[in-house]
Amino acid sequence: MKVQRKFYITTPIYYVNDQPHIGHAYTTILADVLARFHRARIGEEKVFFLTGLDEHGQKVQQAAEKRGLSPQQHCDDLFPRFKDLWKKLGIQYNDFIRTTETRHIKVVQHVLQKVYEAQDIYAAEYEGWYSVAEERFLTEKEKESGQFRDVKQLKERNWFFKMSKYQARLIEYIETHPEFIQPDHRRNEVLGFLRQPLGDLCISRPKSRLSWGIELPFDRDYVTYVWFDALLNYITVAGYNSNEKNFDKWWPADVHLIGKDILITHAVYWPTMLFSLGLPLPKTIFAHGWWLTGAAKMSKSLGNVVNPLDLIEQYGVDALRYYLMREMVLGQDANFTLEGFIKRYNSDLANDFGNLLNRVSGLISKNFGGIIPVRDELIQEDLEIKNVGENLNSNVHRLIGELRVNEAIEEVMSFIRMVNTYLEKQAPWKVAKVDLKRAETILYVSTEALRLSAVLLIPVMPEKSKTVLKILSALESKANWGELKPSTQLQSHPALFPRIEII
Ligand code: MSP
């Protein structure tokens, strides 16, 4: 496997017009899981994980007005809710950007001036359909589709970015870089969009209509269109125009994680902006699907519609992280149902992972006074486990490298199931009565498999996996087979994932 030099991953920056919800939580957990896997493989200092808030624009201004607050007060008030939720969800980001910070405003204004001087920005009178809800001008086709709310005709002088100039170059880039837009069907969607002539991008809003934004450095009557401002966050934090050494190290980003609804802004607007600046494009823009959580999707038989984030209080943060990561095939939509959550919890976490710990620790306590046994000669059945165990780390990391997170998790879970079956067949509780050495080996192999699985599950379920490793007095960093230290005393513990009983 090729060893990466560094890994820079980003989430979208979220609008502060609302409370954080499952959509925000999902992308952020996903980025956290990927960042943690990469840290484990290439080292802490080589991974950079960025998230943050998109604080400008009409949506935020309107949300603030509704609450009778100034936009800045409104943002300052909502910011801790995001920060607190990330803390609760165990998110280990390296930086958290707010677009109202000076460091970002400086970069946006610098970029605007630079692109203006390069003559990629011009002023023009524009008349067209404008969606207030979407905060942008619509094409005739979009207007006719009837998909947009609050559409009105607007005639205005504005500033435009010459996006059309880069259309051919972008198409060529996408066609020659298959890893750039993923999954494949999203790349095709973007190429389809680019088959139509690409217009120029209106990047200003007159202050008379919207005052909450970053002032254009070359025309003080206007503020910057929120997307032109927001997308630049990815280079602000990397050190663009402020810290060359950092910027060289981190840019281009390795993965921009986004939801499918913000594909065009990321896969069309953003690359053309980077072309104009003469900067390399991010390696991969990955658009994931949506969680469908409507009332109809929630379990009727179980009663209430739940806010997925409320499940944290009841079942713990790791169970939610696991469900979100295991259930969604990256790139497709998924249904969030309470029934589905409980089913996964009981089968994968209580019955498979939790049960393996219970069995192993129960048997070791009963037969060997709680001391992890020393292994003897391995027989064929043990070697089968060992063989899978020896390849597990590299298999998991290969899948993670390909952004196949649910499959990477399944790799570990199926190993755990294999070990449970092995235990049943080998029946060490019976063997112990006749051949203590053989029973010791079976339990050594099972415990080692449990240890290895826990190490590889840390990025997904940091708390519970670390609990398992504590019980085994094992290190968090050893992802190779054979690292279990025999003769150590097991720590006592409550059930890892108590079954959820449905009454
Ligand atoms: N501020 C912009 C992003 C700017 S990035 C330079 C924005 N913010 S948002 O808060 O509206 O949405 C953020 C993300 O949440 C998007 O990627 C969107 O796809 C995601 N989700 C919102 N609801 C979702 C689900 N129900 N499921 C999964 N993700 C969804 O857009």
Query: How does pLDDT run across 203-243, given as a tens digit for each residue?
Result: 999 999 899 999 999 999 999 999 999 999 999 999 999 99
321 Cβ neighbours under 8 A, 6+ residues apart:
29, 33, 89, 90, 460, 461
What pLDDT, on a 0 to 100 scale, did the predictor assign at position 470? Answer: 96
- Helix and strand numbers, DSSP H then E, in the chain: 21, 15
Digit-coded pLDDT (tens) for 86-110: 999 999 999 999 999 999 999 999 9
pLDDT digits (tens, 9 = 90+) for 347-400: 999 999 999 999 999 999 999 999 999 999 999 999 999 999 999 999 999 999
What band does 303 get if pLDDT is binned at 50, 70 and 90?
A: very low
Q: CA neighbours within 13 Å on the CB side: how many for 181?
A: 27
Considering 139-148, 288-297, 475-484, the range whose residues carry the highest mean pLDDT is 475-484
Which among 479, 485, 480 is positioned nearest to 465, based on CA atoms? 479
Q: What is the DSSP string of 375-422?
A: P----HHHHHHHHHHHHHHHHHHHHHHTT-HHHHHHHHHHHHHHHHHH
Render pLDDT for 252-291 as a digit per residue (tens, 0 to 9).
Answer: 999 999 999 999 999 999 999 999 999 999 999 999 999 9
Burial of 416 from C-beta contacts in 10 A (0-12 / 13-18 / 19+): buried
Closest Cα to atom 5 of ligand 1: 12
Tokens 């896997």 belong to 37
Number of Cβ within 10 Å of residue 433's Cβ equals 9
Taking the centre of ligand 1 as the mean of its atom positions, its distance from the CA of residue 21, in whole angstroms, is 10
Q: What is the pLDDT of residues 402-428, one digit of tens each?
A: 999 999 999 999 999 999 999 999 999
- Measured by CA distance, the residue closest to atom 7 of ligand 1 is 14
Residue 299: the pLDDT is 45
Neighbours of 503 (CB within 10 A): 2
With a Cβ cut-off of 6 Å, ligand 1 is lined by 12-15, 22-24, 26-27, 54, 230-231, 258-259, 261-262, 290-291
Q: What is the mean pLDDT of residues 55-69?
A: 93
Angle, vertex CA 354, rays to CA 351 and CA 355, nearest 5: 55
Nearest CA to ligand 1 atom 2: 14
First to last CA, the chain: 49
Mean pLDDT of 330-349: 93
pLDDT of residue 298: 47
Residue to mutate, 9, 10, 11, 15, ligand 1, most ligand atoms under 8 Å from C-beta: 15
- Pairing state of beta strands 121-131 and 47-54? unpaired
Q: Which residue puts its alpha carbon closest to atom 10 of ligand 1?
A: 14
- The four Cα atoms 399, 401, 405, 406 give a dihedral, to 10 degrees, of -10
Give 29 Cα–ligand 1 centroid separation in angstroms: 13
Residue 294's pLDDT is: 66
Q: Does residue 150 carry a pLDDT above 50? A: yes
Question: Where residue 4 falls among pLDDT bands split at 50, 70, 90?
Answer: low
Reduced to 3 states (helix: H, G, I; strand: E, B; else coil), residue 428 is helix
Full 3-state SS string of 140-206: HHHHHHCCCCCEEEEEEEEEEECHHHHHHHHHHHHHHCCCCEECHHHHHHHHHHCCCCCCCEECEEE
What b/e string do you get for 35-46 counting C-beta neighbours within 10 Å, with b at 16 or more? bbbbbbbbeeeb
pLDDT, mean of residues 65-82: 95
Confidence of residue 140 (pLDDT cuts 50, 70, 90): confident
The stretch 8-33 carries a mean pLDDT of: 93
Q: Taking a C-beta distance cutoff of 8 angstroms, is the pair 160, 133 a contact?
A: no
258: three-class secondary structure by DSSP: strand
Q: Does the CA dihedral 236-238-241-242 come out positive or negative? A: positive
Residue 308 has pLDDT above 90, yes or no: no
Q: How far is the CA of 27 from the centre of ligand 1 (A)?
A: 8
Q: Answer positive or negative: Cα dihedral of 434, 436, 442, 443.
A: positive
pLDDT of residue 300: 45
Which tokens in the block code for residue 71? 């936009």
Query: 25 with 91: CB under 8 angstroms?
Result: no
- Per DSSP, 371 falls in state B
- Distance from Cα 18 to the centre of ligand 1, integer Å: 11
Q: What is the CA radius of gyration of the chain?
A: 26
Provide the pLDDT for residue 139: 81
**Residue 133, pLDDT above cutoff 80:** no
The span from the CA of 43 to the CA of 292, in Å, is 36
**Structural tokens at position 68:** 């009778």
Q: Whose CA is nearest to atom 22 of ligand 1?
A: 23
The residue contributing the CA closest to ligand 1 atom 12 is 14
CA gap 4, 321 in Å, rounded: 26
Domain 337-471 sits in CATH at 1.10.730.10
CA–centroid distance, 117 to ligand 1, in Å, is: 33
Q: What percent of the chain has pLDDT over 90?
A: 84
Write the pLDDT tens digit of every residue in 445-495.
999 999 999 999 999 999 999 999 999 999 999 999 999 999 999 998 899
Ligand 1 center from residue 369 Cα (angstroms): 52
Rounded to 5 degrees, what angle do the CA atoms 185, 252, 33 make?
A: 65
Which ligand 1 atom lies nearest to the CA of residue 24? 15
* Rounded Cα distance, 293 and 297, in Å: 6
* Count of CB atoms situated within 10 Å of the CB of 185: 12
If one counts every other C-beta atom within 10 angstroms of the C-beta of residue 69, the result is 15
Nearest residue CA, atom 21 of ligand 1? 23
Q: How far is CA 164 from CA 129, 135, 175, 197, 271, in A?
A: 19, 20, 18, 8, 12
CA of 15 to the centre of ligand 1 (A): 8
**Burial tier of 124 (Cβ tally within 10 Å: 0-12, 13-18, 19+):** exposed
pLDDT value of position 304 = 47
